[in-house]
Structure 1
Amino acid sequence: IRHNYIYPGEGLALLPGRSETNSVIEFFRVNRPAYSVEMLYEFPGSGDIDWEELYFSLRSISRLEEVWYFSEHAGKYRFMFPNAYVIESPGNKTRLPDFDADTNFADAELYAYLDDAELKDGRYRVNYSVRTGSIQVKILNASNLRRFIKVVGTGDFYLDFLFFEDYVGSEDERRLKVYIYGAYTLKNEFIVLKLLKYPYSTLAKRVYTIFSALIGDFHEADLPVEFPEYLR
């Protein structure tokens, strides 16, 4: 997995030349987030891509409840998202199924409740876009993210996953790739940075964990369960 931490004054470096990435460019231009990370991953599997299977894997929000990670702050392993599920709206935390038998393989918008072990009580808007040869997932926080103080304001945490088919070498060899962008801006930064000593790797850990948990071993994905050392 290639990655790039975007420091102040730097720009996007791994962005593929596709129109779907305009959402990333626009968020980066308008919001100028304090911390951003890009990742680019090429799936090892070859052959036809089962886009419908991928879509429903990405709709499986509750799968995030299974993810363990080592918290450097707590000094122990813990669940990253003790509660992760679909909700009706940011104001209603009633648990809903990820999807049902009537769910179509199509564009969709939903809300998710992700009660992060370190950033509590998060509600997110999740948008799915389906095109020929690509699926895009955009996740934006629809509530403040808190510890004992506000850490991230509403609309200041953003994830964008673009899965797309690309040709490698010749048009006979197609590969599935994913471009990942994650960003946040911290509130009360002078206090928060005493808790989040490594803001870039903290962001990357969440981005990587959500991505790897949702795709599992789709299309022969080969990703370590542990947060990779090279992303720290």
Structure 2
Amino acid sequence: MKSKFLKKLCIYAISASMILPASAPVMATTTTSVVRDYSFNLSEMNYTNAVLYEGDSLQLRTTHPASKINKLPGRLTWISSNPKVVSVSSSGKITAKKTTTTGAFRPSKAFSVITLKKGNVEIAKCAVDVMPQLQFSTKTRTAKKGTTLKVFLPDAATSSSSSNSKVVKNMCNTCYADSHGNHYLKLKCQNKGTATITFQVYPKNANKKVYISKKIFRFRVNVK
């Protein structure tokens, strides 16, 4: 079962094997900024790629040694190629904004490159994709004993659980998908009481240089 989120990453070529999407300047590990006798690998950031939802924040920092950076004249500055999509503070904290600022059309993502500079020299870069905020109601669901409750999710869950399986049994430790690609949980309401259901939405990623924001949702089920 493939997540809608994973499909988006595939469509726009955001993967652990890439440093930047094709639409952005390529930053392979050999990409450098050369000044005098100093060369700076632009991928020397704690994250070279990040996928955030609207409203998410992330702290960036360079992995270049300070002793090397301090030899350059000028001051350190953080720059966003698209500040309407991703803002960045003077300390390197980035915040994902709207995927679009006007009109009814909401694209599947928006893009910005964050650059750290010392004077006029580029030190490191990070490519950031911003995804539309996930919409899910955490209101309490009510069901009768002996029934099965179907709860639709904003995207595929990589894990899901029940706090009290004697009351509400989660029928799958991830989630189900229908023929239209909609993801949902099947909850078997076994006994009267209340249980809290927790599920996580985020694609699994093994590349430590790629940050993908995960979302955790919780809601209660009251069985009568």
Q: TM-score, normalised by structure 1?
A: 0.30
* Superposition TM-score, scaled by structure 2 size: 0.30
Larger Rg belongs to: 2
